[in-house]
C-alpha cells in the first residue's frame, strides 16, 4: 500500500510542474519526469549516472523490468544472467547492428536488492562522449526502454521504500535541485532553433485539437463545416511528415551546447570582459573604459581543470536609452537565468569602506543582478554563484586585506574572490575556487547532459508521431478515438514544451468559431 | 428487462399546495431552497438517502419549470443527464416523459461523444417533476420566500466557522430548523432583469424577486466571496405567425432513444414527434443590433456573460458579416409558441420585433413574450468542498447557477450531489465525492471547486480527460452501483437492474473472449468482413468485434449458441469492444489521480503554523484555496513538488490517526443498507 501512495505523490509533483501555467519559467518545468500516460510503471529507464566531462569510467544505469533484456541483448548473454551484484567483463554491442561499442564491466542487480528496488543493470564503460552516446542510443533501441527523467532513479528508490521517511527533508532539497536544473536546461533548449520548432508544432497541434473538439462539441448545432476536419487532416499529415524528417535527420537540427554554463554578469564597467579575457588568456572580448562596451553575449569554450566550460560575457546591467544596449541587457538577464554558475563581477572601488555596509551593498547588488526567484531560500544558491571583486589594484593594500578578512566573516554571501584583472593579483585563488565549483557541477549529472535531453526529446517526439497515426486510423471510424490521438500527441509534445490544458483549447475554439447554442 | 410503466399524469398542483399549506413540522433534516432543476433533484436525492426533507419554492406552480430553452441533453450535457439518471435522479425520466423530439447528436462521431438530446413539452416536464415530488415519501413542499439563513456557532469537532440551523421565511418570523440547507436560488440571488433601457429586480420574468436578506447573509454574515454573472433568453414567437416553409425542417430520430436506463421507450411515439426548424440571420439583423446598441443597457454592462450561448448582440458584434444559425424549436404539443434558439436578446421590445422580422421565415412574426437579460449573484465555487458544501459553514450546500454554472443539466447534476450530501450530513454520515476519472459530474464539480469560474460554466466533452471511458452508454455501470453502495441515493430496484446488466455484460464479454479463431477461420465464418490474412495470431471475438464492419449481430448469427442469449446488449458490447483497449491504456493514469484524490487534506489545517518546511508563498496559496485532497493541491498553480512531499508526509501521519478512529464505519453502513432495503421494498413500484 505505501509504495503505491508514494508513486502517486511523485506523479503529483510532476503534475504540478505540468500544470503550473501562467508564469513562463514554470511552464518549462513541464519536462520534469514526463512519463507517457498509461504505460507508466512498466517502463524501464536508463541514464548516465556518472557526471559528464572528462572521466575515465562512465556508469550507465538502467532500472525496470526490461533491464535483464537489455543486459542480455547488449552483452550476448543469451543463456543466463551473470551472478547478482558481481562484476563481469563483456563486450557491449548494439542490439540491432551487433557492432561492438565498448568493452566494460556489467553488473546485474535483480529486484529487490538494487538501488531502486527494481531489476537494475549497470554498465561501466569508457568515459569518452562517443562511447557514452553510442551505449545510450543502443539502450534506447531496446523495446520498453526510455531515457530517465532527472531524479527518476531516486524517485523510484523512494517509491520502493529504499529511502526512509526521515530522508524526506533531504529529498525536498533534491527535488528543488532537480527542478532548478530542469528549468535551466529547458530554458536553454527552448531558446534555440529547436525550441522554436517544437513550439511551432505545439501551436499547430493545439489548433488541430481545438478544431476537432469544436467539431465534436458543437458541429451539430453550429455552423462548423466538415471542411474544418479536412484542414485538420492536412495539418496532421504535414506535421507527421515534418516530424518524420526531423526524427530521421542525423544532424538532429541544432547542435546542443555542452559543458557547464558559466555566465559573467554585473554592472557596467565592472571589468566583466577583462575577466573573460583573463580566463581565456586571449582578447576574446573588446575591453574599454567606456561603460556599455559589451552589448551582445560573447561566448568562449574553455577547459577549466579538465572540465568543459562554456563561458559567456554579457552586457553590463543598467537602464539604457539605447535600443541595442537594452537588447543586450535583456540577453544578459536571459543568460543569467540559464546559467549553471554565475560570476557576479563588482568594481571593488564602489564598495563602502565599512565591512558591514559593504556586505549590505553586495547583498543588494546581487538582488539586482540575479533574476527574481520564486523560492526565497534559493535567491542566493551558494554553489551557483561566485562574487568577484575586481580592480583590487585600485585599492590600498591595507584596505584590500581588511575587506578580504571581513567579508569572509559575513554570512549570507556567496564565496567572495578579490582579484585584479589588470595585475592578475588573486587570480590563482579565484581559479581554485572556480575549479572546485565547476567540478561539483560536473559531478552532478543533473547540471547539463545534452545527449540525454536529446534522447528524451526524441522519445517524446516518437510518441507524438505515433499518436498522430492514431488520429488517421480512427478519423473516419470514431472521431472520439481520433481526437484522443491528437490529445495524446499534444500531451507528448507538451512534455517538451509545456502542458496544454483544456481551457487553452476552449479559448481557441471560442476565438475561431461563433458558438451560439 | 425492467420497464417502468409511464402512467398518465393528472394535475397534481393543488395536492402539493395543500400539502404545503399546513406545515406538519418545524424541523427537518434537510431544507432545499428553490424548485428548479437543482432544487428538485436535491430534494429528491435527499429523501432517497433517507432525510426528512422540505422543499421551499416561491411558487409551487413553477416547480420543474423550464425557464429558458425547451430542451434537455446534447453533447456533454446528455452525458450529465445519463449520469443523473444512473444516480436515480429525476431529469432523465422526466425527459423521456416530456420529450417531443428525440435525437442522438454526433451519431457519426463515436459513441463516447454521442449526445442524447430531446425537445421537451414544457407542461409535461413540469407535471412529471411535480408528480414525482408529490409521490416521494418524506418530502414536504412549501410555498414561500426565504428571508434569512439561520446560522449559529459551529460544532467544534467539524471544520467551519458557522453552522446552519435553518431558515426564516419572509411572511413574519416563521422559523424552520434543519441540519442542512441546500440553496438553489438560480438567477434569483440579487437578480436584475434587463429589457432595453429598463432594469427591474427579479430572477425570471413574471416572478417576484427573491428577498435581499439571503444574499446579505451569505455576503456579510458568512463572509463569502460573491461574483456577478449574466445570461439571457430569447423572445417567444407566435407559431402561426411564422412562415415555416422558408425554414429547413429538421426531423427527429425515427426511433427515439430514452435518456433513462429504466426506460425502453419514450412516452412520445416515434410518429408523434415534432420537427425543429433551422433558419439563418441576415445582414439586416446585424444592422438592427448596431442601430439599437444605445438602447441596450444589458449588453453595455461588463458583467461576464458566456462565450457560448451568447446573445445575438454579442454574436454579431464578435463575428460580424456572418450568417448565424437560428433554430425554431417547438415548446410543446399543445403550445402555439416557438422558441428561437440563438436569438437571446435584451433590446427594447419594439426593436426585438424589428430584428426578428429581418429573418425571412419570421418576416411577419409576432412576439408573445420579449427576450430579456438577467444579472445575478453567484458564490465563487472555490469556497465549496467536493460535496458542494460551503467549507466555512457546516451544513450549507449550494447547487446550480448560484455556483456559477449555466444549463439545466449542470444544475441537475449539482443538485443531486448536493442533496445527497446534505442528507448524509444531516444523518451524520461522512461526505462522498465523485472523481473526475469516473464521471462528468465529477469533472464538473472538480472544475468548479478547484478552479472556480470566470464565466458561466457549461459542460463540454473536451473538459473530460477520460472521455473515452466516461460514455453515455456505461453511466449505469460507473455510477448506479456506487450510488447504492456508497452514497445511498439509488433505489434497490434500480440497483438490482444495474447488477443484472453488469453481470450479463460480463458473461457476454467472457463469451466473446472465449471465441478464439485464426484469421483464416474468421474469414470463413464472416465472409463479408475485410480482414488481412497477414495476421498469424489467433483473434478473439472481442478483437474481431472492434472491426468497423463487424457488428455483434453478425457474430451472433455466426455463433448463435453462445452469443444469441446476449443480443439484448448488442450495441453496448460493440461499443465496449471498440473502446476497451483505449480505456485499458488510461487505467494507470486514472488510478494515479484517484489515489491522489483519496488522500484528503483536513479542512481545518492551519497552514501557517504547520510544523513542516513550506515557503510562505506556498502556505498562503494553501490557506487561500484549502484544497480538500492532495489531488486538488497538485492542480493549484504555484505549489512546488517539495510542498507536495510535505503534504504527503502530513497526510500519512494524520491518515494513520484517522484510520484508527474510522474503524467502526462499516458497521454503520451495513445497518443503513438494511434500513434502505426495507424502505424501498415497501415503496409502490
Which tens digits make up the pLDDT trace of B454-512?
A: 889 999 999 998 999 999 999 999 999 999 999 999 999 999 999 999 999 999 999 99
What gap in Å lies between CA A341 and CA A349, rounded to an integer?
24
What tens digit of pLDDT does each residue of B198-247 get? 999 988 888 888 777 888 889 999 999 999 998 899 999 999 999 999 99
Q: Would you call B637 and A19 a contact, using CB atoms and an 8 Å cutoff?
A: yes
Calculate how close chain A gets to B117, using CA atoms only, in Å: 11
What gap in Å lies between CA B106 and CA B454, rounded to an integer?
28
C-alpha cell recorded at residue A374:
520564486
Q: What confidence score (pLDDT) does residue A171 get?
A: 55
Considering chain B, what is the average pLDDT of its residues?
A: 86
C-alpha cell recorded at residue A219:
458541429
* C-beta separation of B114 from B106 below 8 A: yes
What gap in Å lies between CA B505 and CA A242, rounded to an integer?
44
Rounded to 10 deg, the angle between the B77-86 and B440-451 helix axes is: 110
Q: What confidence score (pLDDT) does residue B460 get?
A: 92
- Side-chain-side CA neighbours of B49 within 13 Å: the count stands at 31
Q: Would you call B586 and A38 a contact, using CB atoms and an 8 Å cutoff?
A: yes
C-alpha cell recorded at residue A420:
585584479
Q: Across residues B350-375, what is the average pLDDT?
A: 95
> Residue A166 — very low, low, confident or very high, per pLDDT cuts 50/70/90?
very low
pLDDT of A488 over the 50 cut: yes
Calculate how close chain A gets to B461, using CA atoms only, in Å: 7
Q: Would you call A11 and B596 a contact, using CB atoms and an 8 Å cutoff?
A: yes
Tell me B295's DSSP state.
Answer: G
Interface of B with A in 510-549 (CB under 8 A): 548
Least reliable range by pLDDT among A151-155, B95-99, B206-210, B222-226 = A151-155
Concatenating the DSSP letter of every residue in B553-579 gives: HHHHHHSHHHHGGGGGGHHHHHHHHHH
Nearest alpha-carbon partner for B36 in B182, B184, B147 = B184
Q: Does B612 touch chain A (CB under 8 A)?
A: no
pLDDT of A10 over the 50 cut: no
Residue with cell 439509488: B490
Residue with cell 554558475: A341
Q: Suggest the residue from B109, B309, B444, B459 to mutate for an interface test with chain A (most A CBs closer than 10 A).
A: B109
**In this complex, which of B106, B325, B592 lies closest to A222 when CB atoms are compared?**
B325
Name the phi and psi angles at B634, rounded to 5: -65, -25
> Residue B665 — very low, low, confident or very high, per pLDDT cuts 50/70/90?
very low
> Residue B306 — very low, low, confident or very high, per pLDDT cuts 50/70/90?
low
* C-beta separation of B289 from B312 below 8 A: yes
Q: Does B559 touch chain A (CB under 8 A)?
A: no
**In this complex, which of A7, A171, A216 lies closest to B645 when CB atoms are compared?**
A171
Calculate how close chain A gets to B322, using CA atoms only, in Å: 10
Nearest alpha-carbon partner for A279 in A433, A441, A440 = A433
What gap in Å lies between CA B675 and CA B672, rounded to an integer?
5
Domains observed in chain B: 24-231+376-462 (3.50.50.60), 236-373 (2.40.30.260), 510-585 (no CATH), 599-657 (1.10.150.570)
Q: Would you call A477 and B548 a contact, using CB atoms and an 8 Å cutoff?
A: yes
Number of helices (H) and strands (E) in chain B: give both, helices first.
24, 23
What gap in Å lies between CA B181 and CA B426, rounded to an integer?
9
Collapsing DSSP states into helix, strand and coil, what is residue A124?
strand
* C-beta separation of A179 from A168 below 8 A: no
* C-beta separation of B94 from B9 below 8 A: no
Q: Would you call B640 and A16 a contact, using CB atoms and an 8 Å cutoff?
A: yes
What gap in Å lies between CA A205 and CA A465, rounded to an integer?
11
Nearest alpha-carbon partner for B116 in B238, B256, B16, B276 = B256
B138 Cα distance to chain centroid: 24
What gap in Å lies between CA A240 and CA B30, rounded to an integer?
58
Least reliable range by pLDDT among A55-69, B70-84, B296-310 = B296-310
Calculate how close chain A gets to B254, using CA atoms only, in Å: 17
Q: Does B341 touch chain A (CB under 8 A)?
A: yes
What tens digit of pLDDT does each residue of A37-86 get? 223 346 788 888 776 555 678 889 999 988 998 999 899 887 788 889 99
Q: What is the 3-state secondary structure (H, E, C) of A9-51?
A: HHHHHHHHHHHCCCCHHHHHHHHCCCCCCCCCCCCEEEEECCC
Q: Suggest the residue from A9, A207, A209, A488 to mutate for an interface test with chain B (most B CBs closer than 10 A).
A: A9
pLDDT of A34 over the 60 cut: no
Beta bridge partners of B199: B194
Q: Across residues A283-290, what is the average pLDDT?
A: 70
> Residue B20 — very low, low, confident or very high, per pLDDT cuts 50/70/90?
very low
Name the phi and psi angles at A376, rounded to 5: -55, -35
Q: What confidence score (pLDDT) does residue B534 get?
A: 63
Distance between first and last Cα of chain B? 15
Name the phi and psi angles at A344, rounded to 5: -95, 115
> Phi-psi category of A98—alpha, beta or left, where left has phi over 0 and alpha has psi -120 to 50?
left
What gap in Å lies between CA A81 and CA A67, rounded to an integer?
11
- Count of CB atoms situated within 10 Å of the CB of B426: 23
C-alpha cell recorded at residue A464:
507524438
What gap in Å lies between CA A463 and CA A450, rounded to an integer?
20
What gap in Å lies between CA A130 and CA A136, rounded to an integer?
10
Beta bridge partners of A289: none
C-alpha cell recorded at residue B25:
413540522
What gap in Å lies between CA B217 and CA B224, rounded to an integer?
9
- Side-chain-side CA neighbours of A376 within 13 Å: the count stands at 6
pLDDT of B67 over the 60 cut: yes
Q: What confidence score (pLDDT) does residue A82 get?
A: 87
Residues contacting residue A349 through CB under 8 Å, at least 6 positions apart: A391, A394, A395
Q: Across residues A185-198, what is the average pLDDT?
A: 66
- Count of CB atoms situated within 10 Å of the CB of B487: 23
**Above pLDDT 90, what percent of chain A?**
12
Q: Would you call B644 and A13 a contact, using CB atoms and an 8 Å cutoff?
A: yes
**In this complex, which of A7, A375, A514 lies closest to B324 when CB atoms are compared?**
A514
Question: Which chain B residue has the Cα nearest residue A6?
Answer: B648
Nearest alpha-carbon partner for B377 in B230, B231, B228, B204 = B228
**In this complex, which of B586, B645, B649 lies closest to A175 when CB atoms are compared?**
B645
Q: Does B26 touch chain A (CB under 8 A)?
A: no
Q: Which residues of A touch B599 (CB under 8 A)?
A: 5, 8
pLDDT of A169 over the 70 cut: no
Among the residues of A449-501, which ranges form H helices?
450-474, 479-497
pLDDT of A350 over the 70 cut: yes
What gap in Å lies between CA A203 and CA A329, rounded to an integer?
29
> Residue B10 — very low, low, confident or very high, per pLDDT cuts 50/70/90?
very low
Q: Would you call A38 and B589 a contact, using CB atoms and an 8 Å cutoff?
A: yes
Beta bridge partners of B248: B278
What gap in Å lies between CA A386 and CA A117, rounded to an integer?
39
Q: What is the CA radius of gyration of chain B?
A: 26
Q: Does B105 touch chain A (CB under 8 A)?
A: yes
Nearest alpha-carbon partner for B472 in B125, B106, B132 = B106
**In this complex, which of A12, A17, A37 lies closest to B586 when CB atoms are compared?**
A37
Q: Would you call B592 and A218 a contact, using CB atoms and an 8 Å cutoff?
A: no
Q: Suggest the residue from A217, A374, A470 to mutate for an interface test with chain B (most B CBs closer than 10 A).
A: A217
Q: Across residues B585-604, what is the average pLDDT?
A: 74
Residue with cell 578579490: A418
State whether the Cα torsion B105-B107-B113-B116 is positive or negative: positive
Is the bond into B157 cis (omega within 30 degrees of 0)? no
What gap in Å lies between CA A9 and CA B599, rounded to an integer?
10
Label the pairing between strands B192-195 and B198-201: antiparallel
Q: Across residues A141-150, what is the average pLDDT?
A: 79
* C-beta separation of B183 from B400 below 8 A: no
Q: What confidence score (pLDDT) does residue A357 get?
A: 82
Collapsing DSSP states into helix, strand and coil, what is residue A386?
strand
Q: Would you call A515 and B307 a contact, using CB atoms and an 8 Å cutoff?
A: yes
Q: Would you call A175 and B642 a contact, using CB atoms and an 8 Å cutoff?
A: yes
Q: Residues of A331-367 as b/e, b for ≥16 C-beta within 10 angstroms?
A: bbbbbbbbbbbbbbbbbbeebeeebeebbeebeebbe
Among the residues of A161-218, which ranges form H helices?
168-190, 193-218
Concatenating the DSSP letter of every residue in B654-685 gives: HHHHHHHHTTTHHHHHHHHHHHHHHHHHHS--
pLDDT of B370 over the 60 cut: yes
Beta bridge partners of B116: B104
Q: Across residues B344-369, what is the average pLDDT?
A: 95
Domains observed in chain A: 44-160 (3.30.1360.120), 193-249+454-512 (1.20.120.430), 254-442 (3.40.50.300)
Q: Residues of B398-416 as b/e, b for ≥16 C-beta within 10 angstroms?
A: bbbbbbbbbbbbbbbbbbb
Amino acid at each position: 500500500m505505501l509504495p503505491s501512495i508514494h508513486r502517486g505523490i511523485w506523479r503529483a509533483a510532476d503534475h504540478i510542474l505540468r500544470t503550473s501555467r501562467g508564469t513562463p519559467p514554470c511552464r518549462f518545468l513541464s519536462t520534469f519526469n514526463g512519463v507517457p500516460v498509461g504505460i507508466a510503471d512498466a517502463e524501464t529507464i536508463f541514464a548516465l549516472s556518472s557526471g559528464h566531462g572528462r572521466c575515465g569510467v562512465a556508469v550507465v544505469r538502467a532500472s525496470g523490468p526490461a533491464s535483464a533484456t537489455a543486459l542480455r541483448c547488449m552483452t550476448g548473454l543469451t543463456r543466463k544472467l551473470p551472478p547478482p551484484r558481481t562484476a563481469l567483463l563483456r563486450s557491449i554491442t548494439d542490439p540491432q547492428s551487433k557492432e561492438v561499442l565498448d568493452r566494460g564491466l556489467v553488473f546485474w542487480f535483480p529486484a529487490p536488492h538494487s538501488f531502486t528496488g527494481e531489476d537494475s543493470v549497470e554498465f561501466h564503460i569508457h568515459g569518452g562522449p562517443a562511447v557514452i552516446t553510442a551505449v545510450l542510443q543502443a539502450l534506447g533501441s531496446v523495446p520498453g526502454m526510455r531515457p530517465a527523467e532527472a531524479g527518476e532513479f531516486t524517485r523510484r528508490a523512494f517509491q520502493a521504500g529504499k529511502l526512509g521517511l526521515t530522508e524526506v527533508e533531504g529529498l525536498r532539497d533534491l527535488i528543488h535541485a532537480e527542478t532548478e536544473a530542469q528549468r535551466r536546461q529547458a530554458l536553454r533548449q527552448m531558446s534555440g532553433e529547436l525550441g522554436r520548432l517544437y513550439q511551432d508544432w505545439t501551436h499547430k497541434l493545439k489548433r488541430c485539437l481545438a478544431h476537432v473538439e469544436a467539431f465534436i462539441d458543437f458541429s451539430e448545432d453550429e455552423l462548423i463545416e466538415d471542411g474544418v476536419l479536412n484542414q485538420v487532416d492536412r495539418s496532421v499529415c504535414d506535421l507527421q511528415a515534418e516530424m518524420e524528417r526531423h526524427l530521421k535527420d542525423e544532424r538532429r537540427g541544432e547542435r546542443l551546447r555542452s559543458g557547464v554554463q558559466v555566465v559573467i554578469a554585473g554592472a557596467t564597467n565592472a571589468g566583466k570582459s577583462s575577466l573573460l579575457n583573463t580566463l581565456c588568456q586571449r582578447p576574446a572580448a573588446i575591453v574599454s573604459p567606456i561603460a556599455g562596451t559589451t552589448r551582445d553575449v560573447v561566448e568562449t569554450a574553455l577547459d577549466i581543470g579538465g572540465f568543459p566550460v562554456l563561458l559567456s560575457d554579457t552586457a553590463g546591467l543598467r537602464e539604457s536609452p539605447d535600443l541595442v544596449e537594452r537588447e543586450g541587457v535583456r540577453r544578459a538577464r536571459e543568460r543569467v537565468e540559464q546559467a549553471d554558475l554565475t560570476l557576479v563581477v563588482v568594481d571593488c572601488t564602489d564598495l563602502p569602506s565599512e565591512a558591514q555596509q559593504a556586505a549590505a551593498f553586495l547583498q543588494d547588488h546581487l538582488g539586482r543582478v540575479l533574476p527574481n526567484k520564486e523560492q526565497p531560500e534559493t535567491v542566493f544558491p551558494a554553489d551557483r554563484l561566485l562574487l568577484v571583486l575586481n580592480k583590487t589594484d585600485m585599492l590600498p593594500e591595507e584596505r584590500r586585506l581588511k575587506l578580504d578578512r571581513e567579508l569572509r566573516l559575513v554570512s549570507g554571501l556567496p564565496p567572495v574572490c578579490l582579484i585584479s584583472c589588470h595585475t592578475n593579483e588573486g587570480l590563482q585563488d579565484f581559479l581554485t575556487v572556480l575549479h572546485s565549483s565547476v567540478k561539483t557541477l560536473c559531478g552532478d549529472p543533473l547540471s547539463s547532459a545534452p545527449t540525454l535531453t536529446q534522447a528524451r526529446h526524441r522519445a517524446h517526439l516518437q510518441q507524438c508521431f505515433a499518436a498522430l497515426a492514431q488520429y488517421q486510423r480512427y478519423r473516419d471510424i470514431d472521431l472520439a478515438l481520433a481526437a484522443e490521438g491528437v490529445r495524446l500527441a499534444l500531451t507528448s509534445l507538451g512534455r517538451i514544451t509545456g502542458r496544454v490544458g483544456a481551457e487553452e483549447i476552449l479559448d481557441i475554439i471560442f476565438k475561431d468559431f461563433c458558438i451560439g447554442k | 428487462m425492467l420497464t417502468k410503466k409511464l402512467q398518465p399524469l393528472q394535475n397534481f398542483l393543488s395536492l402539493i399546495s395543500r400539502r404545503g399549506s399546513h406545515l406538519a413540522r418545524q424541523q427537518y433534516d434537510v431544507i432545499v431552497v428553490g424548485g428548479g432543476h437543482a432544487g428538485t433533484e436535491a430534494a429528491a436525492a435527499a429523501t432517497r438517502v433517507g432525510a426528512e426533507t422540505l422543499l421551499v419554492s416561491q411558487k409551487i406552480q413553477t416547480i420543474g419549470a423550464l425557464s429558458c430553452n425547451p430542451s434537455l441533453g446534447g453533447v456533454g450535457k446528455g452525458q450529465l443527464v445519463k449520469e443523473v439518471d444512473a444516480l436515480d435522479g429525476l431529469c432523465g425520466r422526466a425527459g423521456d416523459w416530456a420529450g417531443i423530439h428525440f435525437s442522438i447528436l454526433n451519431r457519426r462521431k463515436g459513441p463516447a461523444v454521442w449526445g442524447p438530446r430531446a425537445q421537451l413539452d414544457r407542461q409535461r416536464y413540469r407535471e412529471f417533476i411535480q408528480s414525482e415530488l408529490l409521490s416521494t415519501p418524506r418530502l414536504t413542499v412549501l410555498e414561500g420566500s426565504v428571508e434569512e439563513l439561520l446560522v449559529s456557532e459551529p460544532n467544534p469537532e467539524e471544520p467551519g466557522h458557522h453552522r446552519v440551523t435553518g431558515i426564516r421565511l419572509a411572511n413574519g418570523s416563521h422559523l424552520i430548523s434543519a441540519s442542512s440547507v441546500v440553496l438553489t436560488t438560480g438567477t434569483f440571488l440579487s437578480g436584475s432583469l434587463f429589457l432595453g433601457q429598463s432594469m427591474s429586480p427579479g430572477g425570471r420574468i413574471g416572478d417576484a424577486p427573491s428577498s435581499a436578506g439571503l444574499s446579505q447573509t451569505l455576503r456579510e454574515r458568512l463572509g463569502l466571496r460573491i461574483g456577478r454573472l449574466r445570461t439571457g433568453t430569447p423572445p417567444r414567437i407566435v407559431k402561426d405567425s411564422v412562415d415555416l416553409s422558408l425554414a429547413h425542417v429538421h426531423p427527429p430520430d425515427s426511433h427515439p432513444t430514452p435518456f433513462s436506463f429504466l426506460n425502453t421507450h419514450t412516452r412520445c411515439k416515434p410518429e408523434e414527434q415534432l420537427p425543429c426548424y433551422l433558419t439563418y440571420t441576415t445582414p439586416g439583423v446585424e444592422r438592427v443590433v448596431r442601430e439599437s446598441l444605445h438602447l441596450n443597457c444589458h449588453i453595455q454592462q461588463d458583467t461576464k456573460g458566456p462565450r457560448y450561448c451568447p446573445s445575438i448582440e454579442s454574436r454579431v458584434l464578435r463575428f460580424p458579416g456572418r450568417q448565424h444559425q437560428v433554430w425554431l424549436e417547438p415548446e410543446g404539443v399543445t403550445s402555439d409558441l416557438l422558441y428561437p434558439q440563438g436569438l437571446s436578446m435584451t433590446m427594447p421590445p419594439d426593436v426585438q420585433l424589428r430584428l426578428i422580422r429581418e429573418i425571412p421565415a419570421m418576416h411577419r412574426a409576432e412576439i408573445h413574450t420579449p427576450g430579456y437579460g438577467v444579472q445575478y449573484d453567484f458564490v465563487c465555487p472555490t469556497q465549496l468542498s467536493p460535496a458542494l458544501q460551503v467549507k466555512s459553514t457546516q451544513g450549507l450546500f449550494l447547487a446550480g447557477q448560484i455556483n456559477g454554472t449555466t444549463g439545466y443539466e449542470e444544475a441537475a447534476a449539482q443538485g443531486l450531489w448536493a442533496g445527497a450530501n446534505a442528507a448524509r450530513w444531516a444523518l451524520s454520515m461522512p461526505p462522498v465525492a465523485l472523481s473526475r476519472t469516473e464521471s462528468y459530474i465529477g469533472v464538473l464539480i472538480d472544475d468548479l471547486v478547484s478552479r472556480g469560474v470566470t464565466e458561466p460554466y457549461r459542460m463540454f466533452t473536451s473538459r473530460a480527460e477520460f472521455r473515452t471511458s466516461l460514455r453515455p452508454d456505461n453511466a449505469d455501470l460507473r455510477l448506479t452501483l456506487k450510488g447504492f453502495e456508497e452514497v445511498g441515493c439509488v433505489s434497490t430496484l434500480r440497483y438490482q437492474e444495474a447488477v443484472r446488466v453488469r453481470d450479463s455484460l460480463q458473461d457476454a464479454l467472457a463469451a466473446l473472449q472465449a471465441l478464439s479463431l485464426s484469421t483464416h477461420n474468421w474469414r470463413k465464418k464472416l465472409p463479408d468482413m475485410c480482414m488481412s490474412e497477414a495476421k498469424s495470431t489467433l483473434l478473439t471475438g472481442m478483437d474481431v468485434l472492434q472491426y468497423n464492419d463487424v457488428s455483434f449481430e453478425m457474430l451472433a448469427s455466426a455463433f448463435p449458441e453462445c452469443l444469441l442469449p446476449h443480443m439484448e446488449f448488442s450495441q453496448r458490447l460493440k461499443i465496449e469492444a471498440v473502446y476497451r483497449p483505449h480505456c485499458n491504456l488510461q487505467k494507470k493514469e486514472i488510478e494515479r489521480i484517484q489515489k491522489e484524490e483519496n488522500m484528503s487534506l483536513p479542512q481545518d489545517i492551519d497552514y501557517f503554523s504547520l510544523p513542516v518546511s513550506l515557503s510562505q508563498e506556498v502556505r498562503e496559496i494553501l490557506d487561500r484555496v484549502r484544497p480538500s485532497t492532495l489531488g486538488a493541491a497538485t492542480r493549484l498553480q504555484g505549489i512546488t513538488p517539495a510542498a507536495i512531499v510535505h503534504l504527503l508526509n502530513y497526510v500519512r501521519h494524520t491518515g494513520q490517526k484517522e484510520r484508527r478512529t474510522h474503524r467502526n464505519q462499516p458497521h454503520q453502513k451495513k445497518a443503513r443498507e438494511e434500513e434502505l432495503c426495507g424502505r424501498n421494498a415497501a415503496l409502490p413500484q
